[in-house]
Structure 1
Amino acid sequence: MMKKFSSIRYMYIRSHLYAVFLTTVILLSVLLSIHVLVSPDWLSAMSIFVFILLYVLLGLVISVYAGFKSSGEIKERLDYLSVLITQFANGNYQSRVYFNESDEVTRISNEMNELGEKLQNQVKSLQRMADEKADFAKSSHKAAVIEERQRLARDLHDAVSQQLFAITMMSEAALKQLDIDSEVAKTQLRDVADSALKAQTEMRALLLHLRPVHLSGEPLPIGVKKLIDELKQKTNMNFTVSIDEDIELSETTEEHVFRIIQESLSNTLRHAAASEAKIKIFIRANELFLHISDNGEGFNVDEDTNRKTSYGLKTMRERSEELGGTFTIRSIQGEGTYLDIRIPC
């Protein structure tokens, strides 16, 4: 309620009411002075009271009306500026606003337009730098392959290798219990099956990273559909994919977006325990929108301490920002994770 009364309209009304108050005090002082010093017949105490009362009543009505009327235009212009700032915050740097008046608000709008143009040029510079970085990455492909192999080796040792060792130990224990207590042996064999399934899921996620980082000249929609078709054959997850067929992006942007999708699905396979995943890619108002979601376990984005998951999120965020885009992630424990990316085209 207090926030509403602090708006621009009520500021105008308060200023008009303040003017009415000052004028009333001055008029009352002058009339009372004349009444006391001169005492004319036409100026009685009752006439002063009636005049001041009528003036105050009319002043209140006129102040409210004039305040709303005179503040309407300035409020509308400020709303335009607010929308422009929101567009800039969402990555839409092509938005502009123009006013015909020659005042301070017009000067601010012109400065905001210049800011949008500068931000748009910076996005183009970032994308150009991303292209140059992509060319450099191709020239240093061998070093990247060695680094990826080392990372996969660490993941295999930290995850799959330990799970296989645990499966071996539980299998040996189950064999020993088979003749002694069959129920205990069954329980241990169920644990073996669960561990084997986890190891299989982890291995599939690691194999997903072994796919080519580049699309090898294929358009983004075809590359993503091939990736999903492969995952459908190797996992029990249900995938829903929606991609605009007429998407035209630079080679660097397509590779970054493809790698983001690859990294996101890898995290889903390894950590989410999800049964469904959705991918939606489309272009609206010169912006590429990428939405990825799953119905997995979810996690606390602010308090997540899982180093592997955080590394994947950091990589996806960096790839988005390299293209001048925005990266947003929401996750609800027990309900799933939602990833939204906007990239200027």
Structure 2
Amino acid sequence: MKNNPKFFIAIYTGFLTFLILVLVLFTYGMALGHDKWLLELFQIKFLFIPFVFYLFALSVIIGLTNYILISFYQKRLLMPIEEKLRLLAGGNFDNPILDESMPYSISNQTLFEMDNDFYMIRMKLKEILSELQLLNSRPQLIDGVTKEEILEKERHRLARELHDSVSQQLFAAMMLLAALDEQGEESGIPETYQQQLGVVTGIINAAQSEMRALLLHLRPVTLEGKTLKEGIEQLLIELKTKVTIQLKWEMEDVALPLATEDQLFRVVQELLSNILRHAKASELEVYLHRVNQSILLRIVDDGVGFDVSSQNNKAGSYGLMNIRERVASTGGTLKIISFPKQGTSIEVKIPLLGGNVE
């Protein structure tokens, strides 16, 4: 309130109103020859309340009324500005609200100029995002090989090494523990040891699940001529056969530039990998739709969640950083809503500039 100009205006208005009323009463009292008019303000009572308190209450009411009127007027002026800024920040460049003129008057040229500025910002953002999508569609070569090809080969190499070493060792350890558990039941070893074997079995089971999720991430499937919808469905079906999780998806065929389509597909892979490795979710929902001139991807899980605003949250932070970079390269926006123990909702919106598909 201290830095609120409306509050100070209301205080000054109320104070000036009180001074004016006192000055009027002073003039009126002097005209009638009342020398003790100030004392009479406290002595004269109405409903057992001194008259001076009514003057004070009237001043406060006028100050509050002034505050409300100013707030209403500012809100009327600021609401269209806030709405246009929200649409621009969300990438909704073709929303008809952006074409509406703000309620300016002939004497208020500032809003008229602001309307023109919004139009210029809108056109500039569309131009920048269009160039960004065009640049993203061009392969970036390193010694004649694209960056994606280098990363894919390295991922396949790591996946093979992990599968041939760590994954096989975990499987062997699981078989050994199962044999020890059977021998323990037959030989009647103490229950404490059996509980410890159960704990170790649970740890190895969790490690195997983590390894499966990691291998899925390192050896991602590619679209290979399929539509984005078909590619995501194939990914989810493969996921369902390897991990115990309840899946639900609702998608439609959407037309996107090939490079943008591939980036969005990689975003889905990265998000699924993060969910499997960190969220501990039992249910997962995936939605893909076209909404006006934007493609909307939404992934929801019922996992452990996390504090989005906390800088100390390191789990999955590298994966989220990759996702942000991919979304930014398409000119899209990323919105994350998550609370501890309440699951996570991740929304990706990519604008279709002019509706053109390369």
> What is the TM-score of this pair, normalised by structure 2?
0.70
Q: Could you tell me how far apart the structure 2 residues matched to 1:66 and 1:191 are?
A: 71
| DSSP 3-state at the match of 2:128 | helix
Q: Deviations over 1:168-205 (max 9, x none)?
A: 76467658757754566765378447625641562255
Q: 1:315 aligns with which of 317, 322, 329?
A: 322
Moved more, 219-228 or 330-339: 330-339
Q: How does 1:167-178 map to 2 (within 5 A)?
A: 167=174, 170=177
Evaluate the alpha carbon distance shift between residue 127 and residue 330 of structure 1 in structure 2; reply closer, same or farther with a 3 A threshold. Answer: same
- For residue 305 of structure 1, the aligned residue among 314, 322, 335 is 314
Change (3 A) 1:138 1:344: farther
Task: Name 1:199's counterpart in structure 2.
Answer: 208
**CA–CA distance in structure 1, aligned partners of residues 70 and 338 of structure 2:** 46
Supply the distance in 2 between the matched residues of 1:291 and 1:237 (Cα, whole angstroms): 18
| Contact kept in structure 1, 2:140 and 2:147, CA below 8 Å | no
1:141 CA displacement? 5.1
Q: Which residue of 1 aligns with 2:46?
A: none
- Percent identity between the aligned chains? 23
Q: Which residue of 1 aligns with 2:44?
A: none
Q: 1:18 to 1:201 in 2, by over 3 A?
A: closer
**Shift in alpha-carbon separation, 1:192–1:78, aligned structure 2, 3 A:** closer
Moved more, 165-174 or 257-266: 165-174
Cα distance between partner residues in 2 of 1:67 and 1:329? 37
- The separation in 1 between residues aligned to 2:81 and 2:218, in whole angstroms, is 45
Aligned to 1:274: 281
Partners of 1:21 and 1:133 in 2: CA distance: 73
Of the three residues 99, 104, 109, the one matched with 1:103 is 109
**Residue 232 in 1 paired to residue 248 in 2?**
no
SS of equivalent residue, structure 2 residue 77: helix
Q: Residues of 2 paired with 1:67 and 1:300: CA distance?
A: 37
1:290 aligns with 2:297: yes
For residues 84 and 201 of structure 1, the distance between their equivalents in structure 2, rounded to whole angstroms, comes to 44
What is the match of residue 326 of structure 1?
333
Residue 278 of structure 1 and its aligned partner are, at CA, apart by 0.6
Structure 2 residue 138 is matched with structure 1 residue 129: no
Give 1:287 deviation, angstroms: 2.5
Separation of aligned partners in 2, 1:336 and 1:74? 38
Residues 1:12 and 1:205: Cα distance change in structure 2 (over 3 Å): same
CA contact (8 A) 2:14 2:62 kept: no
Alignment match of 1:148 (pick from 150, 155, 161): 155
- Please show how residues 1-345 of structure 1 align to structure 2 within 5 Å: 2=1, 6=4, 8=6, 13=10, 16-17=13-14, 20=17, 44-45=33-34, 72-94=72-94, 96=98, 97-101=101-105, 102-133=108-139, 139-140=146-147, 142-152=149-159, 156=163, 160=167, 163-164=170-171, 166-167=173-174, 170=177, 180-182=187-189, 187=195, 188=197, 191-192=200-201, 195-196=204-205, 198-199=207-208, 202-203=211-212, 205-207=214-216, 209-213=218-222, 215-245=223-253, 247-301=254-308, 302=310, 303-306=312-315, 309-345=316-352
Q: Any idea what the Cα deviations from partners look like across 1:57-100, whole Å, max 9, x if unmatched?
A: 99988777677567744431122222223333333345535344
Superposition CA RMSD, Å? 4.5
* Whole-angstrom distance in 1 between the partners of 2:61 and 2:118: 37
Letter in 2 for 1:89: A
Does the 8 Å CA contact 2:288/2:296 hold for their aligned counterparts?
A: yes
How far did 1:206 drift?
1.0
Between the aligned partners of 1:100 and 1:335, the Cα distance in structure 2 is: 45
8 Å Cα contact 1:127-1:322 kept in structure 2: yes
**1:279: how far off?**
0.7
2:138 alignment partner, SS class: helix
Larger displacement relative to structure 2 (109-118 or 258-267)? 109-118
Count of paired positions: 330
Once the two structures are TM-superposed, the CA of residue 250 in structure 1 deviates from its matched residue by 1.8
Distance 1:118 1:45, change over 3 A: farther
Aligned equivalents of 2:206 and 2:68: distance in 1?
68
Could you tell me how far apart the structure 1 residues matched to 2:202 and 2:64 are?
76
- In the TM superposition, residue 43 of structure 1 has moved relative to its aligned partner by 6.2
Instruction: Give the TM-score normalised by structure 1.
Output: 0.72
Q: Which amino acid aligns with 1:242?
A: E
Report the CA distance shift for 1:157/1:17 in structure 2 as closer, same or farther (over 3 A): farther
Structure with a larger share of its residues in helix: 1
CA contact (8 A) 2:18 2:55 kept: no
Q: 1:292, CA displacement in angstroms?
A: 1.0
**Deviation (angstroms), 1:223:** 1.7
Over residues 121-155 of structure 1, what are the superposed CA-to-partner deviations in whole Å (9 max), with x where a residue is unaligned? Answer: 32222222222257889845542333223443575
Contact 1:126 1:323 in 2 (8 A): yes
Distance 1:222 1:146 in 2: 24
User: How far 1:267 moved relative to its partner?
Assistant: 2.3
